[in-house]
Structure 1
């Protein structure tokens, strides 16, 4: 029998025979279609490390997490550092709402809080945040944000990471971070223009996907007035550090 004859015969069948449950009805054992509105959560400690600097050694953390669906999420981010030898240090925290605007890209908006702590008087400040985070072509993980402080000071940060799989468990991760500011904020050691550039290279071994120790190096260079402020406080404008740490996610 020709294929055309078979197709005509099928189309001529009554709807109840063709579909099994009456015209236009989906069979009872078929799953019902519905919008995927489930909520999920994720937390990543990207860097939890000890840094052997040229000056005082430091402890550093850099973590973020989100809760939500595929299109809208609440993000929490925090990072900071403190010298091992004393109680001084600084940290920041961000609370952001994100909206998926393109495949692999989230537009984020929210607030940021900075605090410097230690033996002297504490300092803090608030920012509004507008940023974008996602996966650029060739799998470059990108996080860029514009900050506007409560005093109207504008600054910019961009971070780029890449993961090179040497084996299924051994991963080399280059990292670049760039900070710039539109205005000078001397109280926070920030100059106008390009503030600093950080170049890092970390090699981690994934004992499990969720748990990976690493070793690496990082070079930081301050520029312009930011470098002058650092020198005035007795710090170097350019530093290199050996790092050892953990990367974990849940």
Structure 2
């Protein structure tokens, strides 16, 4: 529509001008001599030819515009068809990259009685934003005692912007036990960021001899400066059921509530100091162990965290 109107106006204008000139020329011919009339006819023929040339030019221009528009429409349709047949994959630009991160946490703690305790945590993850493999290693060694170990391997799947659902297995070794030193548990849980920026891990463990327990770990960083950071944390374990030879008392089994103050030399090396309060409920009486009561104590110490 935008192409046809200018062409139509041009043709009408040229035709009207030609008719006017022809009328004026015919009136003038009656009072002109023959030579002048001949010149007038020549001028009229020239004007008529110019009008015909203008009309032909307008028609050609209109045809060229129509052809150009048709070609543009055809190109647009072909482009949309090609895009539909061969969609562009933007996953690598929007969370599809495979990345790996490992964190090693070593801390030495002492209680009020001067007994020391070394705790080591290693967490490694590899995968994309949607699908990851989590590996967690834990070692806890009290002074002058054998260490307890646990290894946890889980598949992690993103279920929302801030939460991953995880499933896997945990292998643990307790050297304090005479029998059943090695245990294998199924694990299902959630990993993510709770409201108010609390990084949270919540797991349900299912093992042999009706061993069912729940663990919760949550923490949050509070920045004093860009490098000096406070981190309150809470770790708790709840025993739901336990009929094993070294059964723990059901209910709230243990709690660690602490405050860590770290200084980030860089994003790979972070020393810290730690103050914590712990509660442990104790074990049931079985054929393999005597019942013991709960313990409450304060812990203080230092450590270093590595990330790469």
- Note the C-alpha offset of 1:187: 4.3
Which residue of the partner structure matches residue 302 of structure 2?
Answer: 244
- Note the C-alpha offset of 1:151: 2.6
Normalising to structure 2: TM-score of the pair? 0.66
1:164 corresponds to 2:222: yes
Q: Is the 8 A contact 1:73 1:99 kept in 2?
A: yes
Q: Is the 8 A contact 2:237 2:252 kept in 1?
A: yes
Q: Distance in 2 between matches of 1:248 and 1:161?
A: 18
- The superposition leaves residues 160-201 of structure 1 with CA deviations (integer Å, 9 ceiling, x where unpaired) of 101001100001000001111112356446211111111010
Which residue of the partner structure matches residue 79 of structure 2?
Answer: 24
Q: 1:190 is paired with a residue of what secondary structure?
A: coil
- Give the alignment of 1:81-230 within 5 angstroms: 81-84=140-143, 86-117=144-175, 123-184=181-242, 187-188=245-246, 190-223=248-281, 225-226=282-283
Larger Rg: 2
Q: 1:14 is paired with a residue of what secondary structure?
A: helix
- After TM superposition, the structure 1 stretch with the greater mean CA deviation from structure 2, 236-245 or 153-162, is 236-245
- Note the C-alpha offset of 1:21: 9.0
- Note the C-alpha offset of 1:64: 1.0
Which residue of the partner structure matches residue 37 of structure 2?
Answer: none
- Note the C-alpha offset of 1:70: 1.5
Q: Distance in 1 between matches of 2:233 and 2:304?
A: 16
Which has more helix, going by share of residues? 2
Normalising to structure 1: TM-score of the pair? 0.80
- The superposition leaves residues 120-153 of structure 1 with CA deviations (integer Å, 9 ceiling, x where unpaired) of 7781111000010000111100000000003331
Q: CA RMSD in A?
A: 3.2
Which residue of the partner structure matches residue 139 of structure 2?
Answer: 80
Q: Is the 8 A contact 2:110 2:300 kept in 1?
A: yes
Which residue of the partner structure matches residue 35 of structure 1?
Answer: 91
Which has more strand, going by share of residues? 1
1:13–1:136 CA distance, 2 compared to 1 (3 A) = farther
1:67 corresponds to 2:123: no
In structure 2, the gaps of 5 or more residues are 1-66, 83-87
- Note the C-alpha offset of 1:20: 8.5
In structure 1, the gaps of 5 or more residues are 1-11, 27-31
- Note the C-alpha offset of 1:52: 1.1
- The superposition leaves residues 76-105 of structure 1 with CA deviations (integer Å, 9 ceiling, x where unpaired) of 011121123x24120111010111111121
Q: Is the 8 A contact 2:118 2:141 kept in 1?
A: yes
Greater relative contact order (CA < 8 Å, ≥ 6 in sequence): 1
Q: Distance in 2 between matches of 1:48 and 1:238?
A: 23
- Note the C-alpha offset of 1:226: 4.0
